[in-house]
Structure formats: structure tokens, C-alpha cells
A and B are shown apart, each in its own frame.
Chain A
Amino acid sequence: MASTKTYTAIFVVLMALSTTQAAVEWLGFLEDYYWETLGVIMVLSTMKALAVAGYYMHLRDEPRSITYVAMAGLIGFLALTAGASYSII
């Protein structure tokens, strides 16, 4: 396990990134740069998810095989969503 300080720092970062996501909407970036802003917001969500998985779920300390188990589920989701979405574009 990491130290309490590390967990606290991660928590602060997570709160800050969440606020940033909302701020992007409040500042009206979506009105003018929708797709760019969408990309930024989703990247921020991904960063937050990686921080939670890596530190709070201790994936950094587990054997890589555990990460691969989770990745398998993620790839399944992406295959279904991408395949289904592509089929109607």
C-alpha cells in the first residue's frame, strides 16, 4: 500500500480534475469546440480512472496478470461499442 500522503494527493488531484471538467462546460468551450472539448473531457476521465485503478485499487502493486484481466473486460466493451457504432455510421 502507498502512504496516506500519496492517497491524499491522489484525492486532491481527482477533485481538481473533476472540477476542471465541469469548468470546461461552464466556460462554454463545448459551444465552439465541441469535439476537441469532448476529447479533453474524456481524456481527463480516463486519467482519473487510471489514478483510482492504479493507486486506490493497487493495480500498480499487483502482478500484471490482474491488469490484463481488467483489460480483457475493457477490450470486450470497446469491441461491442465500436463494432455496433461503426455498423450504423
Chain B
Amino acid sequence: MGDLPPRSSVKRWLVTTNHKDIGILYLLTSVFFLVVAGVLALLIRIQLLQSGGTILSDAGYNQVVTSHGFLMIFWFLSPFAFGFANYFVPLQIGADDLAFPRLNAMSYWLYLFSGVLVLGSFFQGATFMGGWTAYAPLNVPSYIPDFGQVGSFATILALIAFIGSVTIGSVNFLTTIYRMRAKGLRMRDIPLFSISILVTVWMMLFAFAAYLAALIILSSDHLLHTSFFALETGSGPEATDSGSLLWTHIFWFFGHPEVYIVFFPALGVLGEMVQTFSGRRLVGRKWFIIAMALVGIQSFIVWMHHMFLTAISLEIKTVMMVTTVAISLPFDLMVFSLIYTMIKGKIRWKTPFLFSLGALVIFIIGGITGVFLGAIVLDYSFRGTYWVVAHFHYVMASSAVILIGAVYYWFPKMTGKMYNEFLGKVHFAMAFIGFNLLYFPMFIVWETPRRIFHYNSGFTMWHQTATAGAFLFAASFLVMFYNLAKSLYSDRHVGESPWSYVASPEWAVSSPPPLENFPGKPSFASGELNFLDRAETDGGVEDAATDGGVEETLAPPEEHADHASWWPFLTASSVVLTGFGLAGLSVSHFVWPFLFAIPAFVAALGVHGARQDGFAQIHGIYMMLSFPLLALFFIFFHIGIGIGELASMSAYFWAALVGAVWGAYTLAGIGYESFEVPEPKMAEQWPFESVENTKLGMWTFIASDIIVFGAFIGAYIFTRIEYGWQEWWKLAKDPAAHTMAEQALEHHPVLPGLINTYLLLASSFTVVLALSAARRTEDYSIGPFSISNRSATVTFLGLTFGGAAFFLVNKGIEWVDLFVHQGWTFGVDVMSSTFYLTTGMHALHVIIGMLVMLFLIARAWTGAYVGEGEDASTIEYFGLYWHFVDIVWLFLFPLFYIL
């Protein structure tokens, strides 16, 4: 499938992979979530009209406060910014689209369906109630009321799906910005908004990976009843809630960068708008960018300033206080740069500028009040009060105010129509007054305790003022919706740019831009923007320059690119049913839907493969193999649960089953779909010139996965240090060990781990040999015997699969022994929790790798990857993943089997 239906067709919006379409989808969806989260905010403010509340129950208030936070931060603010990023980053860097358009669509649909899942959690008893920080132990089942168990877990699963979207998006933007810039566009010359997105996606790649690890561990506490986050070590006065502390560490390692993840895209637009409406280049632009990058790095070493009231040591608190104060310095530089640009320029008081200026004032107030929280002693008083609430709304919501300004700024470019300036200014006035009326009183009555609706009755007037401000702020958005809707159908057409000073390439194309973005291949090689003829001519030098007719060497012709695919939508849709079902399943039931999905995947590989490559033996084998596999899992099911129980299985089971099988079918479909995305032949690609897009994408994904596994291993190390590092080991080796766990560990020998190390190393070796065979030009021959490269490739891939299968069998034997024979189950103690979950997470990676290998084997069998005109890179990219899984095991082996 390649071409797109027209925009008037519903199908267009379901199949599109075009970055501008997806940008619009992101913007509209995030505005929907803004409205939902905004209504929740109004409910909070109505509840706070008087101390003790008005309309909500205790549990209702907790749900509303929690969901408001989740939805605003995750499902509105970042996706809203990334709607603009989707639309404008390729335009600003001179690319036709993002590097991986289908993954971009997948990213959007995962975002949407994760949002459906979190909204659906309200109807599964109750959604999560423990605040957006989800502090332990309020996030573990034993601290959640029964009626909230399923909905709470559904919320956690929705967050995991959302992070899937974020990770795919981060990989995509990094690859795009590094590899697809127009010729001559140096990194330092990229427009500010795109630079801010670059810094943001770096932070997202790592920060969300840590959060993902925390959420997977939390899911394990819910599903498998492991005991990470409810763990207490020691006893009596010496007891420590080490589980709570662990959650707080991982959460804020993510959570503090998240503040900048939300703010930086807005900061980038702010820089662009200040430039445009001051009519001059940003003062100290280079230093502004360096400061932004510096904050991006520093954001990962300040997280414990959110933990000054926990049991961490005073030494580390002091270090974090210093790093926190230090991070404000680059921000000062950026703020002064913006202010000085305005002073030196000639201001045009258009609506986007009013929002920029207003947001800058708001951000400065938010920043200054945050410095108080960075000081340990002051934080002791301010923590858990409305000072914090006011501060972070001044910071986070300032980014929303900037992005609203960006709506007005880019509306003419996206629609080709001009908004009504008067209504825009009315919106600003209402929003600015409403915002400050809402949040400033919170500084005045800062002693109001956070998260509850009981406060000193003397504060009532200020809280009622805040509520009035909230409604004014909300009403201002109605003015915007009316303005934009009316303007869209007006006859106020605009040309390339409605602004008299612009500094980024999106303003050099028509409004709205054409599907392929540019009238020719954009190039900055001459020092200014030119559009080169895409068509190949015999050495001719044609130039379609828009600004001076500079001669350029012709760009090589571009290959045809596909723009449409059903599979991202279809694949992501499986998340809803799977998540809905999984949330309500018990530990004994949850695994079966996924096991039954495996034969479905194998069969789907056969079906899709036969359709795409023409029927071959391997497709028949896969189709036939799926039946005994299914029968095998049915036998297991009968032994474990009983076939007769199927009739009484809950709706959750069937939902998870259908969702998992649907996901398996669609994943095979997306794997086999032919979707052409040519890499640009003429692009600025420093510092990754000699690395293909997919390889860079794979490496950035691996970097993210390093953090995921790192957080698991970090959690293990933290927990073990808290327990006593050597005590842990000594107990395991003590012949006088008397507890069940200790006996299990005593009989938990090195050998199974060593055998699995051999198996994984061997499979790493064979996958290298498979790549080597695919790239050979001559067949293998030993004496009279010869084997074709195709057969050798299939054989080595098969051996790799075999190594992985034996790894799992060996692990299965080991686990059955520990689990069944020795009674050392998931939640017996923290040792069993860390062992099963960390090595289980690794095993999950092995299983995913095996499923991909089945695909590779089928493709290699039918002649892909080998010989003239074929590209073996797919095997290489898979190999990167597989070797990474191997490397992780090289550390898990000593940590869990030797030390």
C-alpha cells in the first residue's frame, strides 16, 4: 500500500504515515485530553471551594487528582508539543518525512490507545488513586482498595503502552534529525524548535526507560506478587521502607528530566516566537543552545532534591542541593537571552508574542519559587504543601501557555488561513488573568496541605478566588476554539509567511505545505536555502532557487516513498483489549493468552509470508507447526488450569486472549508489509555519516534498553545493599540456613547459569556466522561437499534459534525446580523477587528475539538477505539486539549465580 486517500476521507487518517497528518492527529488528540484533564481540574477546584469538599467522595477526589496529573503531563503536554514536532521538524531541517514513517504512525496510535486504556480504567471499578508520582507503597496492591485493583493496574499498563509510544518516537526523531538534514545544514544551524526537540528526545530516550523499568517492576508486584516496592528491611526502630525509597529513586530519576521534557519543546518555540516578533536573531543563540544541552545532561543528576524528606543521607542531599542550584544557572542564561533579544529588537504585539511574554513572566515566577524547594532546610517546610503545587504549575503550565502561543504562530502555516487577531488577544488576556488568579493565591495560602481537600478555614477566600480563576482560564480556551474554527472556514488566506521576520525553513513553502514538503530538494550548501530539481538530467545544473538563483549540483533522484499503511493502527489497537484484559487477570491466568498468541504468530508468519513472498515450504511448515504448538499449550493449560475451566473464564481472560492473538497477527503483518522509505541520498548526517538509518535507530533503542536493564540491575544492587550485600551471599551459602528461601539459594547452583551462558554465547556466535554467510559471494565448500550461502544462512539462524530454545528449556527446568520442588516462589522474599523478575525480564527479551528469528528464517529461506541485489542488513540489525541480550546475561550470570 503506498498512496494516500484525500484528507476528506476517514480512511486517510487511519492509514496515513505522513508526518504532517500525524502531527495534526497528535494535536487534535492531545487537545481532547486537555479538555478531559481540564474538566478534572475544574472538579478539583469545585471540591476546594470549601474545606472538607463539596461534590466528590474521598476516593473520587483521589482519582480525579491522580488522573488530572497523569493526563495533563503524559497525554496532553508532551503529545501536544510532539504534534508540532511531527509537523515542523522535517520542514525545519529539510527532510521529506521522519526516518521511519510507519513507526511514527505506530507511535501515534499507541499514544491514542494507551489514552483509551487509561480513560477506560475509570470504568473498571476505579482508576489509580495514588497521585501522579504513584509513591510506594500506595502503588502496590495491598495498599489499594479492592474496588480499585483492576483500574489501578490498567492505568499502570496504559503508562507502559504510552512509554512504548515515547520510545519509538524518540528513536525516530533522533534518527531523523541526525541523518536527514538538508545538505549544508549544520547541527548548530538547526532552528531552535528542532534543536529543543533533539535535546528533549535524548532526555526522553533515557528518562522514560527508567520509568518503564519501574512500571514493569510495579506490574510484577501487582501480577506476580513480588515484593519490590512494599519491601521493609530491618526491624524495630532500624526498619527502613527500602521499597518505597527504591520507587522514589527510579521515579524521580525519570521525573525530574520529565519536567524539562515537557518544557523544552515549548522553550524552543518560545525562542522562535521571540525572534520572529522581535524581528531579530536570538541574542547569544549559540550559548542558548549550549545551555539547553547542559540542562539536558544536568537534569539526570538532581533527582534527589525531590527526596529531601526521605531517609537518604545528608551528604547526598547536600550534593543534590548544589547540583539543583547549578541547574538554574543555564536557565538564567536562556531567560536573559530572551529578554535581551526583546530589548534589542522591535516588538510586534501579535497574539503569539503576547503568549510568549506572558509565559516568560509565568516561568520566571515558577523558576524562582523552585529555588526555595531546592534548599534542603526550606524544603522541609514547603514539601507537601501548596507551595509545591503552585510552583510546578507555574513551571509546567507555562509550557502550555507557550504552546498555545505556538498554535496561533503556526496556525496560518498549517491551514493557510489567518486567525482573528482581536479574539486572539482576548484569549490571551483571559488566559493570563485566569492563570494567575488560579495559581498565585496558592503561594499566599501555601500552608494548605497538598493532595487533600481539608484546609484552614481562613484560607477559604483564596481558594474560592483560585476556583474563579480556574473557570476564567478554562473559558479562555472556548474563545480559542471558536476563533480557530471560524478562521479555518474564513477567506483570510495567507501566503508562505504572514510574519514580516522569519528565520526557519517552514516559512519558505506554501501554506499549508505540500505532501512532499518542498518544491525541490532543499539545500543549504550555498549558505542559503535553495530548492534543487529532483529530476535527474544529463549533467545539467537546474536550480529552482527561491532566493537568488544560486547554482547547485543536482540532487540524485529520489525513489518512490510509501505513505500509507493499515498496520500501525491495527497493531496498536491490540493494546486496548490486551491491557483491559491483563488488568483483571490473576497470577495463574495471565500467561495463557500470551502463550496461545505464539502459535497464532507462527501461523500468521506463514500466511503473511506466503502472500508476500509466494508460497514456499517454510510457510507450510509454519502453518502446520502452529497446530501442534497450540495442542501443546492446551495440554499445559489442562495440566495447569483444566480445560473445563475455559467455560467459566472471565471477560478479562477472553479480552486478553483476543488482544494478544490480534497483536500477534498484526505484528507478523507489519513485518511482512512492503513499505518503501528511501534514505536521502543527499543529506547532512554528521556525526553518523556512515551509519544507515535503521542501524542508528537500533543503537539508540539499545541505549534506551541499557537504561531499562540498568534500572532492573540497579534496583537489585540497591535492594541488596540495603539488605547487606555480603549478608545476602552468606545466608545463601550458610549450611545452617533454615528458611525456605535460604535453602533454595543453597541449592541454587552455578551450573544452570553457566550452561545458559554457554548457550547464549554460542547463539551470538552463530548469528554472526549467519550474517557472514549472507554476505559471502562464494558458497561454502569442504572437499566434495558444498552448501549454498542461502542454506548456510538459514542453518546458522536455525542454530541461533536452537541455542535460545535450549536456554529457555534450561531456565524452565531450573525455575520448576526452584519454584515447584523447593517452594521458592515469586514473592517468598526479596531475593526471589529480584531473581525471578530480573532474569525473567531477560528471558522475555530472549523470547522476543526468537519470534523475530522465526521471521528472519522464513525470509532467508525464500531467498532474502543472500546474493546479488539482496541486503543482509536486517540480520545485522537483529544481531545487534541479540548480542545486547547476550551482554546483559554476561552480567546477570555473576550477579545472580556466583556473587
B699 & A25 in contact (Cβ 8 Å cutoff):
no
A10: which B residues are within 8 A, CB to CB?
Answer: 765
**Residue B206 at the chain A interface, CB threshold 8 Å:** yes
Q: Which of B706, B890, B894 contacts A70 (CB 8 A)?
A: B706
CB distance from B273 to the nearest CB of A (A): 31
A77 & B714 in contact (Cβ 8 Å cutoff):
yes
B711 & A66 in contact (Cβ 8 Å cutoff):
no
- Chain B residues 746-795 with CB under 8 Å of chain A are 750-751, 753-754, 757-758, 761-762, 764-765, 767-769, 771-772, 775
CB distance from B886 to the nearest CB of A (A): 6
Given A49-B890, A57-B879, are A18 and B206 also a contact pair (CB < 8 Å)? no
Binds A, one of B242-250, B567-575, B839-847: B242-250
Chain B, Cβ-Cβ closest to A71: B703
Give complex CA distance A34, B898 in Å: 11
- Tell me what chain A mostly uses at the interface: helix, strand, loop, or mixed: helix
Chain A, Cβ-Cβ closest to B881: A57
Q: Which of A21, A76, A85 contacts B710 (CB 8 A)?
A: A76
- Chain A residues 13-70 with CB under 8 Å of chain B are 14-15, 18-19, 21-22, 24-26, 30-31, 34, 38, 41-42, 44-45, 48-49, 52-53, 56-58, 62-63, 65-66, 69-70
A74: which B residues are within 8 A, CB to CB?
Answer: 706, 710
A34 & B313 in contact (Cβ 8 Å cutoff):
no
Give 12 A-B contacts (CB < 8 Å), ordered by A residue.
Answer: A11-B765, A48-B887, A63-B687, A69-B699, A72-B202, A72-B206, A76-B209, A79-B301, A80-B249, A80-B714, A86-B313, A87-B307
Closest 5 CB pairs of A and B: A77-B710, A73-B706, A73-B703, A81-B714, A87-B312
Count of chain A to chain B residue pairs whose CB atoms are closer than 8 Å in the complex: 180
A52 & B893 in contact (Cβ 8 Å cutoff):
no
CB distance from A29 to the nearest CB of B (A): 10
B691 & A62 in contact (Cβ 8 Å cutoff):
yes
Give complex CA distance A41, B699 in Å: 27
Given A52-B887, A73-B703, are A1 and B714 also a contact pair (CB < 8 Å)? no
B898 & A21 in contact (Cβ 8 Å cutoff):
yes
Interface string of B296-332 (1 = CB under 8 A from A): 0000110110010001110110000000000000000
CB distance from A63 to the nearest CB of B (A): 6
B-to-A contact residues, CB < 8 Å: 202, 206, 209-210, 240, 242, 245-246, 249-250, 253, 300-301, 303-304, 307, 311-313, 315-316, 687-691, 696, 699-700, 702-707, 709-711, 713-714, 717-718, 721-722, 726, 729, 733, 750-751, 753-754, 757-758, 761-762, 764-765, 767-769, 771-772, 775, 876, 879-880, 883-884, 886-887, 890-891, 893-894, 898-899
CB distance from A52 to the nearest CB of B (A): 5
B303: which A residues are within 8 A, CB to CB?
Answer: 83
A52: which B residues are within 8 A, CB to CB?
Answer: 764, 883, 886-887, 890
B898 & A53 in contact (Cβ 8 Å cutoff):
no
CB distance from A47 to the nearest CB of B (A): 9
Given A49-B887, A69-B700, are A25 and B312 also a contact pair (CB < 8 Å)? no
Query: How many A residues touch B, CB cutoff 8 Å?
Result: 52
Give complex CA distance A1, B774 in Å: 12
A70: which B residues are within 8 A, CB to CB?
Answer: 699, 702-703, 706
A77 & B690 in contact (Cβ 8 Å cutoff):
no
- Tell me what chain B mostly uses at the interface: helix, strand, loop, or mixed: helix
A84: which B residues are within 8 A, CB to CB?
Answer: 246, 249-250, 253, 714, 718
CB distance from B167 to the nearest CB of A (A): 12
Give complex CA distance A15, B891 in Å: 14
B703: which A residues are within 8 A, CB to CB?
Answer: 69-70, 72-73
Give complex CA distance A83, B688 in Å: 32
B307: which A residues are within 8 A, CB to CB?
Answer: 87
A-to-B contact residues, CB < 8 Å: 1, 4, 7-8, 10-11, 14-15, 18-19, 21-22, 24-26, 30-31, 34, 38, 41-42, 44-45, 48-49, 52-53, 56-58, 62-63, 65-66, 69-70, 72-74, 76-81, 83-89
B761: which A residues are within 8 A, CB to CB?
Answer: 11, 14-15, 18
Given A18-B758, A22-B750, A73-B206, are A80 and B883 also a contact pair (CB < 8 Å)? no
Q: Which of B711, B733, B768 contacts A77 (CB 8 A)?
A: B711
Chain A, Cβ-Cβ closest to B762: A11
B687 & A88 in contact (Cβ 8 Å cutoff):
no
A57: which B residues are within 8 A, CB to CB?
Answer: 879-880, 883-884
A41 & B718 in contact (Cβ 8 Å cutoff):
no
A1 & B879 in contact (Cβ 8 Å cutoff):
no
Give complex CA distance A77, B311 in Å: 22
CB distance from B244 to the nearest CB of A (A): 12
**Considering residues B210, B249, B876, which has the most beta carbons from chain A within 10 angstroms of its beta carbon?**
B249
A38: which B residues are within 8 A, CB to CB?
Answer: 899
CB distance from A70 to the nearest CB of B (A): 6
B772: which A residues are within 8 A, CB to CB?
Answer: 1, 4, 7
B688 & A66 in contact (Cβ 8 Å cutoff):
yes
CB distance from B830 to the nearest CB of A (A): 15
